Chains A and B, each alone.
Chain A
Amino acid sequence: AQKVTQAQTEISVVEKEDVTLDCVYETRDTTYYLFWYKQPPSGELVFLIRRNSFDEQNEISGRYSWNFQKSTSSFNFTITASQVVDSAVYFCALSEAGLGTGTASKLTFGTGTRLQVTL
């Protein structure tokens, strides 16, 4: 069975600090995809990034960066120079293929990390 662990329940930082959100996953699949979503207080899960299991290159998008390490089954997310608007719950997720042709893929989510950024 697939599993995603986000051990950090809550993190509080002061604005402009860097913060890393950890994600560890378990899967027996050799091909899989990992995702990060942001859930602000409004409730909507906002897609941030998708990474496949064959691409271990780190990715940077503005203040966001992701470190994928297959050897440790981790896909960590770093926010540089955090801002108050980054306050949200962040979810890591792992996809598995559908059960057969014509079935949709499924996501396994972690329990989320609540990030609080204060002035």
Chain B
Amino acid sequence: ETGVTQTPRHLVMGMTNKKSLKCEQHLGHNAMYWYKQSAKKPLELMFVYNFKEQTENNSVPSRFSPECPNSSHLFLHLHTLQPEDSALYLCASSLTPAGDMSDTQYFGPGTRLTVL
């Protein structure tokens, strides 16, 4: 399998549920990202991991909890979400961890999350 994969592709959950989103990259990259894409809003960067270390948390509510056990895997643990958290959650990875602005991010297909 190549590129960036995400599971599940679709998820419906209640506000009291706990679920996790998974992202895996097969590109040998060192940085991984979580983005939120809501309707008619720019992509919002949520978290950045660089060699498994979190280097960015963009004021994301604590009901979103990321985990990066190694450079190839990234999780987003969800608990006690709100309906306004319904969105497409995209994972991305990039090769260079050193703040290289030429670094290209490659995206997965996303998880479409609906919170009831």
Q: Do A and B bind each other?
A: yes
Q: Contact residues of A with B, CB < 8 Å?
A: 4, 31-33, 35, 37, 42-47, 50, 52, 91, 95-112
**Contact, CB under 8 Å: A33 / B101:** yes
**Contact, CB under 8 Å: A104 / B102:** no
Q: How large is the interface on B (under 10, 10 to 19, 20 to 34, 35 or more residues)?
A: 20 to 34
**Contact, CB under 8 Å: B110 / A109:** no
Interface of B is mostly: loop
**Contact, CB under 8 Å: B94 / A104:** yes
Measured CA separation A24–B56 after assembly (Å): 26
Distance (whole angstroms) from the CB of A27 to the closest CB of chain B? 11
List, in ascending order, chain B residues with CB within 8 A of A46's CB: 107
**Contact, CB under 8 Å: A50 / B50:** no
Distance (whole angstroms) from the CB of A22 to the closest CB of chain B? 16
In this complex, what residue of B is CB-closest to A35? B104
**Contact, CB under 8 Å: A98 / B112:** no
Residues 13-31 (chain B) with a chain A CB within 8 angstroms: 31
**Contact, CB under 8 Å: B42 / A44:** no
**Contact, CB under 8 Å: A103 / B56:** yes
**Contact, CB under 8 Å: A95 / B101:** yes
In this complex, what residue of B is CB-closest to A101? B98
**Does B116 count as interface, using CB distance less than 8 angstroms?**
no
**Contact, CB under 8 Å: A43 / B112:** yes
Measured CA separation A84–B94 after assembly (Å): 30
The one of A31, A45, A105 that contacts B103, using a Cβ cutoff of 8 Å: A105
**Contact, CB under 8 Å: A91 / B43:** yes
Check A111/B104 contact, CB under 8 A, given A98-B99, A104-B55, A106-B56: no
**Contact, CB under 8 Å: A98 / B102:** no
List, in ascending order, chain A residues with CB within 8 A of B100's CB: 97-98, 105
**Contact, CB under 8 Å: A96 / B42:** no
**Contact, CB under 8 Å: B102 / A50:** yes
**Does B75 count as interface, using CB distance less than 8 angstroms?**
no
